[in-house]
Structure 1
Amino acid sequence: MRHGEFEDPRLVTVYDAECPWGRDDDFFLAAVDETPAARVLDLGCGTGRLTVAMAAAGHPVTGVDPARASLAAARAKPGADQVTWIEGTSHALPSGTFDVAVLTSHVAQVFVDDAEWTATLADLRRALLPGGRLLFDARDPADRRWERWNPVDSARLITLPDGREVRAWTEVTSVLQNAVSFVHHYVFPGGDELLSSATLRFRTERELRDSLRAAGFAVDHVYGGWGREPVGAGDGELVVLAHLSA
Protein backbone atom coordinates (compact mmCIF):
# COMPACT_ATOMS: atom_id res chain seq x y z
CA MET A 1 0.00 0.00 0.00
CA ARG A 2 1.21 3.51 -0.80
CA HIS A 3 1.72 5.59 2.38
CA GLY A 4 0.25 2.80 4.46
CA GLU A 5 1.19 4.45 7.77
CA PHE A 6 -1.45 7.06 7.00
CA GLU A 7 -4.03 5.03 5.05
CA ASP A 8 -4.30 1.74 6.98
CA PRO A 9 -5.72 2.02 10.52
CA ARG A 10 -3.42 -0.75 11.76
CA LEU A 11 -0.34 1.07 10.50
CA VAL A 12 -1.63 4.42 11.73
CA THR A 13 -1.43 2.95 15.24
CA VAL A 14 2.12 1.80 14.54
CA TYR A 15 3.05 5.24 13.22
CA ASP A 16 1.77 6.98 16.34
CA ALA A 17 3.68 4.56 18.55
CA GLU A 18 6.91 5.01 16.57
CA CYS A 19 6.69 8.80 16.27
CA PRO A 20 6.16 10.42 19.67
CA TRP A 21 6.79 14.10 20.40
CA GLY A 22 10.33 15.10 19.43
CA ARG A 23 12.79 17.96 19.00
CA ASP A 24 11.24 18.81 15.65
CA ASP A 25 7.89 19.37 17.35
CA ASP A 26 9.55 21.59 19.95
CA PHE A 27 11.11 23.62 17.15
CA PHE A 28 7.93 24.13 15.15
CA LEU A 29 5.77 24.91 18.18
CA ALA A 30 8.29 27.55 19.32
CA ALA A 31 8.50 28.99 15.80
CA VAL A 32 4.72 29.23 15.50
CA ASP A 33 4.54 30.85 18.94
CA GLU A 34 6.66 33.72 17.58
CA THR A 35 3.38 34.92 16.01
CA PRO A 36 1.02 35.26 19.01
CA ALA A 37 -2.47 33.82 18.51
CA ALA A 38 -1.56 32.99 14.92
CA ARG A 39 -4.19 31.40 12.72
CA VAL A 40 -2.27 28.25 11.77
CA LEU A 41 -2.55 25.84 8.87
CA ASP A 42 -1.01 22.40 9.41
CA LEU A 43 -0.86 20.95 5.89
CA GLY A 44 -0.26 17.20 5.89
CA CYS A 45 -1.15 17.10 9.58
CA GLY A 46 -1.20 13.30 9.73
CA THR A 47 -2.39 12.01 13.10
CA GLY A 48 -2.34 15.50 14.59
CA ARG A 49 0.41 15.29 17.20
CA LEU A 50 1.65 18.85 16.58
CA THR A 51 -1.73 20.12 15.38
CA VAL A 52 -3.40 19.52 18.72
CA ALA A 53 -0.42 20.95 20.62
CA MET A 54 -0.55 24.20 18.64
CA ALA A 55 -4.25 24.52 19.43
CA ALA A 56 -3.53 23.88 23.13
CA ALA A 57 -0.99 26.72 22.98
CA GLY A 58 -3.77 29.12 22.04
CA HIS A 59 -3.64 29.17 18.26
CA PRO A 60 -6.71 28.72 16.06
CA VAL A 61 -5.54 25.71 14.01
CA THR A 62 -6.75 23.96 10.88
CA GLY A 63 -5.34 20.51 10.12
CA VAL A 64 -5.52 19.31 6.52
CA ASP A 65 -4.67 15.83 5.29
CA PRO A 66 -5.89 13.57 2.46
CA ALA A 67 -5.61 10.37 4.53
CA ARG A 68 -8.91 9.50 6.21
CA ALA A 69 -7.41 6.97 8.64
CA SER A 70 -4.87 9.50 9.89
CA LEU A 71 -7.54 12.13 10.40
CA ALA A 72 -9.67 9.63 12.32
CA ALA A 73 -6.75 9.09 14.71
CA ALA A 74 -6.19 12.84 14.96
CA ARG A 75 -9.83 13.53 15.77
CA ALA A 76 -9.68 10.95 18.59
CA LYS A 77 -6.83 12.71 20.41
CA PRO A 78 -7.53 14.75 23.57
CA GLY A 79 -8.00 18.38 22.58
CA ALA A 80 -8.87 17.56 18.97
CA ASP A 81 -12.19 19.37 19.32
CA GLN A 82 -10.23 22.65 19.37
CA VAL A 83 -8.98 22.01 15.81
CA THR A 84 -10.76 22.42 12.48
CA TRP A 85 -10.06 19.26 10.45
CA ILE A 86 -10.26 19.08 6.67
CA GLU A 87 -9.90 15.90 4.62
CA GLY A 88 -8.19 17.01 1.43
CA THR A 89 -5.12 18.52 -0.17
CA SER A 90 -3.84 22.07 -0.55
CA HIS A 91 -6.46 22.60 -3.25
CA ALA A 92 -9.11 22.62 -0.49
CA LEU A 93 -7.53 25.53 1.39
CA PRO A 94 -9.57 28.69 1.91
CA SER A 95 -8.01 31.88 0.56
CA GLY A 96 -6.48 34.63 2.69
CA THR A 97 -7.08 32.88 6.01
CA PHE A 98 -3.84 31.96 7.81
CA ASP A 99 -0.97 33.78 9.49
CA VAL A 100 1.32 30.74 9.54
CA ALA A 101 1.46 27.52 7.53
CA VAL A 102 3.52 24.51 8.60
CA LEU A 103 4.46 21.33 6.75
CA THR A 104 6.26 19.06 9.19
CA SER A 105 7.63 15.50 9.34
CA HIS A 106 9.10 16.02 5.84
CA VAL A 107 5.71 16.41 4.16
CA ALA A 108 7.37 18.75 1.66
CA GLN A 109 9.26 15.77 0.23
CA VAL A 110 6.05 13.97 -0.72
CA PHE A 111 5.65 16.38 -3.66
CA VAL A 112 8.02 14.55 -5.98
CA ASP A 113 7.31 16.35 -9.25
CA ASP A 114 8.32 19.98 -9.52
CA ALA A 115 4.86 20.76 -10.89
CA GLU A 116 3.27 19.30 -7.73
CA TRP A 117 5.55 21.31 -5.48
CA THR A 118 4.94 24.50 -7.47
CA ALA A 119 1.17 24.01 -7.31
CA THR A 120 1.32 23.38 -3.56
CA LEU A 121 3.35 26.55 -2.96
CA ALA A 122 0.83 28.49 -5.04
CA ASP A 123 -2.02 27.13 -2.91
CA LEU A 124 -0.13 28.07 0.26
CA ARG A 125 0.48 31.57 -1.03
CA ARG A 126 -3.22 31.90 -1.73
CA ALA A 127 -4.17 30.62 1.72
CA LEU A 128 -1.83 32.92 3.67
CA LEU A 129 -2.55 36.48 4.66
CA PRO A 130 -0.13 39.25 3.56
CA GLY A 131 3.21 38.71 5.28
CA GLY A 132 2.14 35.20 6.32
CA ARG A 133 4.85 32.74 7.33
CA LEU A 134 5.69 29.31 5.89
CA LEU A 135 7.65 26.81 7.98
CA PHE A 136 8.71 23.36 6.81
CA ASP A 137 11.42 20.72 6.94
CA ALA A 138 13.07 18.50 4.34
CA ARG A 139 16.01 16.15 4.60
CA ASP A 140 19.26 17.50 3.19
CA PRO A 141 20.28 15.33 0.20
CA ALA A 142 23.93 15.94 1.11
CA ASP A 143 23.31 13.81 4.23
CA ARG A 144 22.31 10.86 2.00
CA ARG A 145 19.91 9.59 4.64
CA TRP A 146 18.52 6.93 2.31
CA GLU A 147 21.81 5.02 2.48
CA ARG A 148 20.83 4.07 6.05
CA TRP A 149 17.42 2.83 4.96
CA ASN A 150 18.33 -0.85 4.70
CA PRO A 151 17.13 -3.98 6.50
CA VAL A 152 20.11 -4.00 8.88
CA ASP A 153 20.49 -0.35 9.88
CA SER A 154 16.75 0.34 9.96
CA ALA A 155 15.67 -2.75 11.93
CA ARG A 156 13.59 -1.78 14.93
CA LEU A 157 10.96 -2.98 17.41
CA ILE A 158 7.90 -0.80 17.90
CA THR A 159 5.84 -1.26 21.06
CA LEU A 160 2.13 -0.63 20.57
CA PRO A 161 -0.13 0.86 23.29
CA ASP A 162 -1.43 -2.64 24.13
CA GLY A 163 2.12 -3.92 24.71
CA ARG A 164 2.48 -5.92 21.50
CA GLU A 165 5.69 -5.50 19.53
CA VAL A 166 5.92 -4.96 15.79
CA ARG A 167 9.15 -5.73 13.95
CA ALA A 168 9.95 -3.18 11.26
CA TRP A 169 12.63 -2.41 8.71
CA THR A 170 13.04 -0.35 5.55
CA GLU A 171 14.53 -1.09 2.16
CA VAL A 172 15.24 1.35 -0.68
CA THR A 173 13.96 0.17 -4.05
CA SER A 174 15.28 2.95 -6.30
CA VAL A 175 17.22 6.21 -6.32
CA LEU A 176 16.64 8.31 -9.40
CA GLN A 177 17.56 11.99 -9.73
CA ASN A 178 17.07 12.70 -6.02
CA ALA A 179 13.77 10.82 -5.92
CA VAL A 180 14.10 7.92 -3.50
CA SER A 181 11.57 5.07 -3.42
CA PHE A 182 11.39 2.66 -0.50
CA VAL A 183 9.26 0.11 1.30
CA HIS A 184 8.62 -0.15 5.04
CA HIS A 185 8.02 -3.70 6.32
CA TYR A 186 5.92 -4.27 9.45
CA VAL A 187 5.56 -7.75 10.98
CA PHE A 188 2.90 -8.11 13.64
CA PRO A 189 2.73 -10.76 16.38
CA GLY A 190 1.48 -13.91 14.71
CA GLY A 191 3.39 -13.21 11.51
CA ASP A 192 1.12 -10.88 9.54
CA GLU A 193 3.26 -8.55 7.43
CA LEU A 194 2.07 -5.21 6.07
CA LEU A 195 4.01 -3.14 3.54
CA SER A 196 4.02 0.59 3.00
CA SER A 197 5.71 2.14 -0.02
CA ALA A 198 6.53 5.75 -0.83
CA THR A 199 8.73 8.00 -2.94
CA LEU A 200 10.31 11.16 -1.53
CA ARG A 201 12.05 14.00 -3.34
CA PHE A 202 15.32 15.26 -1.88
CA ARG A 203 15.67 18.90 -2.99
CA THR A 204 18.84 20.84 -2.33
CA GLU A 205 18.85 24.08 -0.37
CA ARG A 206 19.30 25.97 -3.63
CA GLU A 207 16.34 24.19 -5.23
CA LEU A 208 14.14 25.01 -2.24
CA ARG A 209 15.21 28.65 -2.18
CA ASP A 210 14.63 29.04 -5.93
CA SER A 211 11.19 27.41 -5.79
CA LEU A 212 10.12 29.61 -2.88
CA ARG A 213 11.34 32.76 -4.57
CA ALA A 214 9.45 31.86 -7.74
CA ALA A 215 6.29 31.30 -5.68
CA GLY A 216 6.50 34.72 -4.03
CA PHE A 217 8.14 33.81 -0.72
CA ALA A 218 11.19 35.38 0.88
CA VAL A 219 13.44 32.99 2.83
CA ASP A 220 14.34 34.18 6.32
CA HIS A 221 16.45 31.23 7.46
CA VAL A 222 17.47 27.73 6.45
CA TYR A 223 18.84 25.67 9.33
CA GLY A 224 20.59 22.32 9.33
CA GLY A 225 18.98 21.01 12.50
CA TRP A 226 16.58 21.51 15.36
CA GLY A 227 19.13 23.54 17.32
CA ARG A 228 19.22 26.12 14.51
CA GLU A 229 22.64 24.91 13.38
CA PRO A 230 24.02 25.93 9.97
CA VAL A 231 23.17 23.67 7.03
CA GLY A 232 25.51 20.68 7.05
CA ALA A 233 26.28 20.98 10.76
CA GLY A 234 23.05 19.83 12.38
CA ASP A 235 20.70 16.86 12.01
CA GLY A 236 20.88 16.41 8.24
CA GLU A 237 17.85 18.64 7.81
CA LEU A 238 16.87 21.68 5.80
CA VAL A 239 14.56 23.58 8.15
CA VAL A 240 13.06 26.48 6.24
CA LEU A 241 11.47 29.64 7.64
CA ALA A 242 10.00 31.95 4.99
CA HIS A 243 7.32 34.60 4.58
CA LEU A 244 5.21 36.05 1.81
CA SER A 245 7.14 38.83 0.11
CA ALA A 246 5.47 42.11 -0.67
Structure 2
Amino acid sequence: MLHAEFRDPLLVAVYDAECPWTREDDFFLGVVGEAPKGRVLDLGCGTGRLALGLAAAGHVVTGVDPAGASLQAARAKPGSERVTWVEGTSADLPVAAFDIAVMTSHVAQFFVTDEEFGRVLADLKRALVPGGRLVFDTRDPAARRWEAWNPVDSHRQVELADGTVVTAWTEVTAVIDGAVSFTHHYTFSDHQQLQSTATLRFRTEREVRAALHTAGFQVGHVYGGWNREPVGDGDGELLVIAHR
Protein backbone atom coordinates (compact mmCIF):
# COMPACT_ATOMS: atom_id res chain seq x y z
CA MET A 1 0.00 0.00 0.00
CA LEU A 2 1.22 3.51 -0.83
CA HIS A 3 2.20 5.36 2.38
CA ALA A 4 0.65 2.57 4.45
CA GLU A 5 2.43 3.72 7.61
CA PHE A 6 0.01 6.67 7.61
CA ARG A 7 -3.12 4.86 6.35
CA ASP A 8 -3.10 1.37 7.86
CA PRO A 9 -3.96 1.50 11.60
CA LEU A 10 -1.49 -1.31 12.38
CA LEU A 11 1.37 0.53 10.70
CA VAL A 12 0.29 3.89 12.10
CA ALA A 13 1.00 2.42 15.54
CA VAL A 14 4.47 1.34 14.35
CA TYR A 15 5.16 4.77 12.89
CA ASP A 16 4.07 6.46 16.09
CA ALA A 17 6.33 4.22 18.18
CA GLU A 18 9.28 4.89 15.88
CA CYS A 19 8.87 8.65 15.88
CA PRO A 20 9.02 10.19 19.37
CA TRP A 21 9.77 13.86 20.02
CA THR A 22 13.32 14.76 18.94
CA ARG A 23 15.56 17.77 18.36
CA GLU A 24 13.82 18.13 15.00
CA ASP A 25 10.63 19.03 16.84
CA ASP A 26 12.64 21.34 19.11
CA PHE A 27 13.80 23.19 16.00
CA PHE A 28 10.26 23.78 14.71
CA LEU A 29 8.94 24.66 18.15
CA GLY A 30 11.75 27.18 18.52
CA VAL A 31 11.19 28.80 15.12
CA VAL A 32 7.43 29.07 15.66
CA GLY A 33 8.06 30.53 19.11
CA GLU A 34 10.22 33.35 17.74
CA ALA A 35 7.06 35.34 17.00
CA PRO A 36 4.12 36.14 19.30
CA LYS A 37 1.79 33.20 19.73
CA GLY A 38 -0.52 33.02 16.75
CA ARG A 39 -2.37 30.75 14.37
CA VAL A 40 -0.23 27.81 13.26
CA LEU A 41 -0.89 25.37 10.43
CA ASP A 42 0.77 21.95 10.60
CA LEU A 43 0.35 20.59 7.07
CA GLY A 44 0.89 16.84 6.95
CA CYS A 45 0.54 16.65 10.72
CA GLY A 46 0.41 12.83 10.78
CA THR A 47 -0.22 11.45 14.26
CA GLY A 48 0.06 14.92 15.75
CA ARG A 49 3.33 14.91 17.64
CA LEU A 50 4.39 18.47 16.75
CA ALA A 51 0.85 19.89 16.55
CA LEU A 52 0.22 18.79 20.13
CA GLY A 53 3.54 20.25 21.27
CA LEU A 54 2.77 23.57 19.62
CA ALA A 55 -0.68 23.67 21.19
CA ALA A 56 0.79 22.89 24.62
CA ALA A 57 3.10 25.88 24.14
CA GLY A 58 0.08 28.14 23.73
CA HIS A 59 -0.30 28.41 19.96
CA VAL A 60 -3.61 28.08 18.16
CA VAL A 61 -2.96 25.03 16.00
CA THR A 62 -4.69 23.42 13.04
CA GLY A 63 -3.39 20.02 11.92
CA VAL A 64 -4.22 18.99 8.35
CA ASP A 65 -3.55 15.55 6.89
CA PRO A 66 -5.17 13.38 4.19
CA ALA A 67 -4.68 10.15 6.17
CA GLY A 68 -7.69 9.45 8.37
CA ALA A 69 -5.95 6.67 10.33
CA SER A 70 -3.16 9.04 11.37
CA LEU A 71 -5.65 11.69 12.46
CA GLN A 72 -7.56 9.08 14.46
CA ALA A 73 -4.35 8.31 16.35
CA ALA A 74 -3.73 12.03 16.88
CA ARG A 75 -7.22 12.63 18.24
CA ALA A 76 -6.73 9.82 20.79
CA LYS A 77 -3.72 11.49 22.41
CA PRO A 78 -3.81 13.64 25.57
CA GLY A 79 -4.33 17.31 24.76
CA SER A 80 -5.80 16.62 21.34
CA GLU A 81 -8.81 18.81 22.14
CA ARG A 82 -6.49 21.84 21.89
CA VAL A 83 -5.90 21.21 18.18
CA THR A 84 -8.30 21.58 15.27
CA TRP A 85 -7.86 18.43 13.16
CA VAL A 86 -8.80 18.49 9.47
CA GLU A 87 -8.76 15.51 7.13
CA GLY A 88 -7.72 17.09 3.85
CA THR A 89 -4.92 18.58 1.75
CA SER A 90 -3.47 21.99 1.06
CA ALA A 91 -6.26 22.56 -1.47
CA ASP A 92 -8.72 22.70 1.44
CA LEU A 93 -6.95 25.50 3.31
CA PRO A 94 -8.85 28.74 3.98
CA VAL A 95 -7.59 32.12 2.79
CA ALA A 96 -5.29 34.21 5.01
CA ALA A 97 -6.09 32.07 8.05
CA PHE A 98 -2.60 31.41 9.48
CA ASP A 99 0.39 33.38 10.72
CA ILE A 100 2.83 30.52 10.20
CA ALA A 101 2.76 27.17 8.42
CA VAL A 102 5.03 24.21 9.06
CA MET A 103 5.68 21.00 7.14
CA THR A 104 7.75 18.55 9.19
CA SER A 105 9.11 15.02 8.88
CA HIS A 106 10.09 15.75 5.27
CA VAL A 107 6.49 16.16 4.12
CA ALA A 108 7.75 18.49 1.38
CA GLN A 109 9.42 15.50 -0.29
CA PHE A 110 6.08 13.74 -0.75
CA PHE A 111 5.26 16.17 -3.58
CA VAL A 112 7.33 14.48 -6.23
CA THR A 113 6.69 16.52 -9.37
CA ASP A 114 7.43 20.21 -9.71
CA GLU A 115 3.76 20.79 -10.50
CA GLU A 116 2.64 19.12 -7.25
CA PHE A 117 5.14 21.05 -5.17
CA GLY A 118 4.23 24.31 -6.88
CA ARG A 119 0.52 23.80 -6.19
CA VAL A 120 1.16 23.11 -2.52
CA LEU A 121 3.34 26.20 -2.15
CA ALA A 122 0.69 28.29 -3.90
CA ASP A 123 -1.95 26.92 -1.53
CA LEU A 124 0.24 27.74 1.46
CA LYS A 125 0.80 31.28 0.23
CA ARG A 126 -2.96 31.72 -0.07
CA ALA A 127 -3.50 30.37 3.45
CA LEU A 128 -0.92 32.65 5.10
CA VAL A 129 -1.45 36.27 6.05
CA PRO A 130 0.84 38.85 4.39
CA GLY A 131 4.24 38.47 6.00
CA GLY A 132 3.35 35.00 7.26
CA ARG A 133 6.13 32.44 7.59
CA LEU A 134 6.58 29.00 6.05
CA VAL A 135 8.98 26.56 7.71
CA PHE A 136 9.80 23.09 6.41
CA ASP A 137 12.49 20.44 6.16
CA THR A 138 13.69 18.46 3.16
CA ARG A 139 16.73 16.23 2.81
CA ASP A 140 19.77 17.56 0.97
CA PRO A 141 20.41 15.21 -1.98
CA ALA A 142 24.15 15.84 -1.62
CA ALA A 143 24.05 13.76 1.58
CA ARG A 144 22.62 10.75 -0.32
CA ARG A 145 20.65 9.58 2.71
CA TRP A 146 18.81 6.94 0.70
CA GLU A 147 22.02 4.87 0.49
CA ALA A 148 21.35 3.75 4.10
CA TRP A 149 17.86 2.56 3.17
CA ASN A 150 18.86 -1.06 2.70
CA PRO A 151 18.02 -4.31 4.53
CA VAL A 152 21.20 -4.23 6.63
CA ASP A 153 21.53 -0.58 7.67
CA SER A 154 17.80 -0.02 8.12
CA HIS A 155 17.03 -3.26 10.00
CA ARG A 156 15.35 -2.42 13.29
CA GLN A 157 12.93 -3.71 15.91
CA VAL A 158 10.10 -1.53 17.15
CA GLU A 159 8.28 -2.18 20.42
CA LEU A 160 4.67 -1.02 20.47
CA ALA A 161 2.75 0.22 23.50
CA ASP A 162 1.19 -3.21 24.05
CA GLY A 163 4.57 -4.93 24.04
CA THR A 164 4.33 -6.25 20.49
CA VAL A 165 7.70 -6.27 18.72
CA VAL A 166 7.77 -5.48 15.01
CA THR A 167 10.80 -6.12 12.82
CA ALA A 168 11.20 -3.52 10.07
CA TRP A 169 13.59 -2.75 7.25
CA THR A 170 13.68 -0.68 4.06
CA GLU A 171 14.87 -1.24 0.50
CA VAL A 172 15.29 1.31 -2.29
CA THR A 173 13.68 0.18 -5.54
CA ALA A 174 14.57 3.07 -7.88
CA VAL A 175 16.48 6.36 -8.01
CA ILE A 176 15.50 8.50 -11.00
CA ASP A 177 16.20 12.23 -11.41
CA GLY A 178 16.05 13.03 -7.71
CA ALA A 179 13.04 10.80 -7.04
CA VAL A 180 13.78 7.87 -4.72
CA SER A 181 11.29 4.99 -4.55
CA PHE A 182 11.40 2.49 -1.71
CA THR A 183 9.50 -0.13 0.24
CA HIS A 184 9.23 -0.47 4.02
CA HIS A 185 8.86 -4.09 5.18
CA TYR A 186 7.23 -5.01 8.51
CA THR A 187 7.02 -8.42 10.21
CA PHE A 188 4.86 -8.70 13.32
CA SER A 189 5.41 -11.17 16.14
CA ASP A 190 2.51 -13.30 14.82
CA HIS A 191 4.41 -13.48 11.50
CA GLN A 192 2.01 -11.14 9.72
CA GLN A 193 3.89 -9.22 7.03
CA LEU A 194 2.95 -5.79 5.69
CA GLN A 195 4.56 -3.38 3.26
CA SER A 196 4.44 0.33 2.57
CA THR A 197 5.69 1.90 -0.66
CA ALA A 198 6.56 5.50 -1.40
CA THR A 199 8.51 7.84 -3.64
CA LEU A 200 10.21 10.94 -2.26
CA ARG A 201 11.75 13.83 -4.19
CA PHE A 202 15.19 15.04 -3.14
CA ARG A 203 15.44 18.68 -4.29
CA THR A 204 18.64 20.70 -4.26
CA GLU A 205 18.80 23.99 -2.42
CA ARG A 206 18.69 25.78 -5.78
CA GLU A 207 15.53 23.88 -6.76
CA VAL A 208 13.87 24.63 -3.42
CA ARG A 209 14.69 28.32 -3.66
CA ALA A 210 13.44 28.52 -7.24
CA ALA A 211 10.13 26.85 -6.36
CA LEU A 212 9.59 29.23 -3.45
CA HIS A 213 10.41 32.27 -5.58
CA THR A 214 7.95 31.15 -8.25
CA ALA A 215 5.24 30.71 -5.60
CA GLY A 216 5.81 34.23 -4.25
CA PHE A 217 7.85 33.50 -1.13
CA GLN A 218 11.01 35.24 0.01
CA VAL A 219 13.59 32.89 1.51
CA GLY A 220 14.99 34.10 4.81
CA HIS A 221 17.23 31.20 5.85
CA VAL A 222 18.23 27.73 4.70
CA TYR A 223 20.12 25.68 7.27
CA GLY A 224 21.91 22.37 6.86
CA GLY A 225 21.30 21.00 10.35
CA TRP A 226 19.07 21.10 13.39
CA ASN A 227 21.51 23.39 15.22
CA ARG A 228 21.24 25.87 12.30
CA GLU A 229 24.53 24.90 10.71
CA PRO A 230 25.28 26.05 7.14
CA VAL A 231 24.10 23.83 4.30
CA GLY A 232 26.60 21.01 3.82
CA ASP A 233 27.94 21.24 7.37
CA GLY A 234 25.02 19.90 9.35
CA ASP A 235 22.79 16.85 9.28
CA GLY A 236 22.21 16.50 5.55
CA GLU A 237 19.08 18.63 5.75
CA LEU A 238 17.71 21.73 4.10
CA LEU A 239 15.76 23.56 6.80
CA VAL A 240 13.88 26.38 5.14
CA ILE A 241 12.37 29.53 6.65
CA ALA A 242 10.53 31.70 4.12
CA HIS A 243 8.07 34.61 4.18
CA ARG A 244 4.95 35.32 2.18
Smaller-chain TM-score bracket? over 0.9
RMSD: 0.5
SS in 2 for 1:115: helix
Which letter does structure 1 place at the counterpart of 2:126? R
Name the TM-score, length of structure 2 as normaliser.
0.99
Cα deviation, residue 163, structure 1: 1.4
Superposed structure 1 runs of 4+ greater than 4 Å apart: none
Which letter does structure 2 place at the counterpart of 1:207? E
Residue aligning to 1:94 = 94
Whole-Å Cα distance in 2 between the matches of residues 165 and 240 of structure 1?
36
Percent of matched pairs sharing the same residue: 68
SS in 1 for 2:213: helix
Aligned pairs, how many? 244
Cα deviation, residue 75, structure 1: 0.6
Whole-Å Cα distance in 1 between the matches of residues 77 and 92 of structure 2?
23
Whole-Å Cα distance in 1 between the matches of residues 198 and 38 of structure 2?
32
1:163-174 correspondence runs (5 A): 163-174=163-174
Which letter does structure 2 place at the counterpart of 1:39? R
Residue aligning to 1:32 = 32
1:75-224 correspondence runs (5 A): 75-224=75-224
SS in 2 for 1:191: coil
Residue aligning to 1:67 = 67
Whole-Å Cα distance in 1 between the matches of residues 188 and 232 of structure 2?
37
Cα deviation, residue 150, structure 1: 0.3
Q: Deviations over 1:167-195 (max 9, x none)?
A: 00000000000000000001000211110
Residue aligning to 2:11 = 11
Which letter does structure 2 place at the counterpart of 1:179? A
SS in 2 for 1:70: helix
Name the TM-score, length of structure 1 as normaliser.
0.98
Cα deviation, residue 79, structure 1: 0.6
Cα deviation, residue 144, structure 1: 0.3
SS in 2 for 1:16: helix
SS in 2 for 1:31: helix
Cα deviation, residue 37, structure 1: 1.2
1:217-236 correspondence runs (5 A): 217-236=217-236
SS in 2 for 1:227: coil
Cα deviation, residue 118, structure 1: 0.4
The 10-residue stretch of structure 1 (66-75 or 32-41) with the greater mean CA deviation from structure 2: 32-41
| 1:23 to 2:16 alignment | no
Q: Deviations over 1:107-166 (max 9, x none)?
A: 000000100000000000000000000000000000000111000010001111111211
Whole-Å Cα distance in 2 between the matches of residues 182 and 35 of structure 1?
38
Structure 1 unpaired stretches of 5+: none
Cα deviation, residue 4, structure 1: 0.6
SS in 1 for 2:240: strand
